[in-house]
Structure 1
């Protein structure tokens, strides 16, 4: 079931990406949305790890470590540290949103799904670290479009036009909520 959910989510992200391309959005938006979706797809595995270990979803030291690691690479990608920090904080919050919802559902059912587990420290974090570099590259490619007045519309259309489950859709909205920058 887990692999079919991941396949569904990957297909939904591909749909989001194609919708972003079809709506006069810049070409740089589609891969960024795809990578954000790929990062969110790991939230179920993180939640399973937290279920098994009885650890809290919130892990401020780890969150600060992730944000600090990303901001340290900001200049190398032509981005300012505040933008990168804000972007990765949004990714973390979106991921936690999925984790909290999954854990709540499993508590209601009295059990988590009986699916293969990945280790948080070894497998999942390695994937997250690889996605971090890709997200930085894609955020840098999308950066010139962040101030375009159509940016909020591009994101709203991409996030609303898919038939992803409501939790994933909400998580994508949270993850992309601060991509657009409004100029006064």
Structure 2
């Protein structure tokens, strides 16, 4: 029994040594950084949407709007010869991430008893057109990234590229959700 700690220590050192000599991860494709910047920009607009929801008292969940966004994304995906279902999942992930930001901010403001005193853009006239423009850019950037989605390095690229993009834990979590559909793992045999 005295040899168990020595054996475990040796095993741990061997594993650490193996990991230290592991092959470095290949450099991410150039298409990843602009794609993540667009996703992050879209998430930051969630702050403005949350302010409008706070002021109006409207629910965060807007199923008709979400269905409209998904339908539009499907049409654009077909026009660009992208997998329609993959694009629908990507946009659904963006909306879920955006709602995560909104719910988190509303909870913070409710706990504080007030929302920030900042200018409120109009949801229908200013925010939604901006989101629509971002969707068009997002799909173009996604199309450029598609060839790399199945690369075994994709998860490591995402983790590295997401690092430092978000200003706080809420937005970091939301960005993780927003990128959850980008990499595709090969099915286990």
Sort the TM-score into its range (normalised by shorter chain).
Answer: 0.7 to 0.9
Q: C-alpha displacement at 1:163, in angstroms?
A: 6.3
Q: CA deviation at 1:75?
A: 1.9
Change in CA separation of 1:163 and 1:99 when aligned onto 2, cut-off 3 Å? closer
Query: Where does 1:50-65 land on structure 2 (aligned, <5 Å)?
Result: 50-65=53-68
Who is 1:27 aligned against? 30
Distance 2:31 2:88 in 1: 20
Q: Normalising to structure 2: TM-score of the pair?
A: 0.83
Does residue 1:39 correspond to 2:39, yes or no?
no
**In structure 2, do the counterparts of structure 1 residues 153 and 96 end up closer, same or farther at CA, with 3 Å as the change threshold?**
same
Per the TM alignment, residue 156 of structure 1 is displaced from its structure 2 partner at its CA by 1.4
Partner of 1:94: 97
Q: Runs of at least 4 residues of structure 1 off by over 4 A?
A: none
1:48 and 2:51 equivalent? Answer: yes
Q: Which runs of 5+ in 2 are unaligned?
A: 1-24
1:139 corresponding residue in structure 2: 142
Note if 1:123 corresponds to 2:123: no
| Structure 1 unmatched ranges of 5 or more | 1-21
Bigger Rg, structure 1 or 2 = 2
Partner residue in 1 for 2:75 = 72
Q: TM-score, normalised by structure 1?
A: 0.85
RMSD, matched Cα: 1.5
8 A Cα contact 2:74 2:84, kept in partner: yes
Query: Which residue matches 1:10?
Result: none
Q: Which residue of 1 aligns with 2:21?
A: none
Between the two proteins, the alignment pairs up a number of residues equal to 163
